[in-house]
Amino acid sequence: MVKKLRYTNALAVLLTVAGLSAPALAGSEDVVVENAWSRASIGVNRPGAAYMTVRNTGEDAVTLTGLATPLAMMPEIHESKTNSVGVSSMAPAGEITIEPGQSVALEPGGLHAMLMKLQEPMTEGENFPLTLTFSDGGKVTVEVPILGIAARGPEG
């Protein structure tokens, strides 16, 4: 609980800094990223995945256009889908627009931040920064904790 609070505070500071540095932005300064987590990787050859909830607390729609992180050369939002006969597939999700007051969940089996071309292994217990870029030029950076490979959600 304390850990979570501290984390939320850190996030608030980060978001404030992001907001201050770009006061002319319309929309993305009102984006809040919550419950970010990821799974540890085995080595660097397999892609990693990160999950979070992206909430638009503002009054304008925002469009998430891309990701950046020093951890991976090719981070992209992908979406897993399972069709009517149970076959799962995965493809880039493209841009994601979040209406005012709405949120988008990146969660297992759906949207996720796919981390391709890892620069180093994702080690359980560590964190990495992930920057979300929006169409208004705004950026929101979140620290993503790395949980175990078998983690099922932000609580582990």
Partner 1 sequence: MQRRQLLLYGAAGAGVLGLTLFVGWWRVDGPGAPEPKGQRPLPLSAMEFRLTDHEENEVGPGNLIGRPTMVFFGFTYCPDVCPTTLSDISGWLEELGDEASEMNVVFITVDPERDTVEAMAEYVGYFHPAIRGWTGPEDQISRAVEAFRASYERVPTEGGDYTMNHTASVFLFDAKGELVTMIDYHEPREFAVPKIRRALTEDVEGAT
Interaction between residue 148 and partner 1 (CB under 8 A): yes
Q: Which of 114, 130, 140, 142 binds partner 1 (CB under 8 A)?
A: 114
* Interaction between residue 123 and partner 1 (CB under 8 A): no
- For position 119 contacting partner 1 by CB under 8 A, the verdict is no
- How does DSSP classify residue 153? S
**Which residues have C-beta within 8 Å of that of residue 116, sequence separation ≥ 6?**
47, 72, 73, 74, 75, 76
> Is residue 1 close enough to count as binding partner 1 by CB under 8 A?
no
Reading phi first (left if > 0) and then psi (alpha if -120 to 50, else beta), residue 69 is in beta
C-beta separation of 115 from 75 below 8 A: yes
Pick from 12, 74, 94, 99 the residue near partner 1 by CB under 8 A. 74
Give the interface segment with partner 1, choosing from 9-17, 29-37, 47-55, 133-141 (CB under 8 A).
47-55
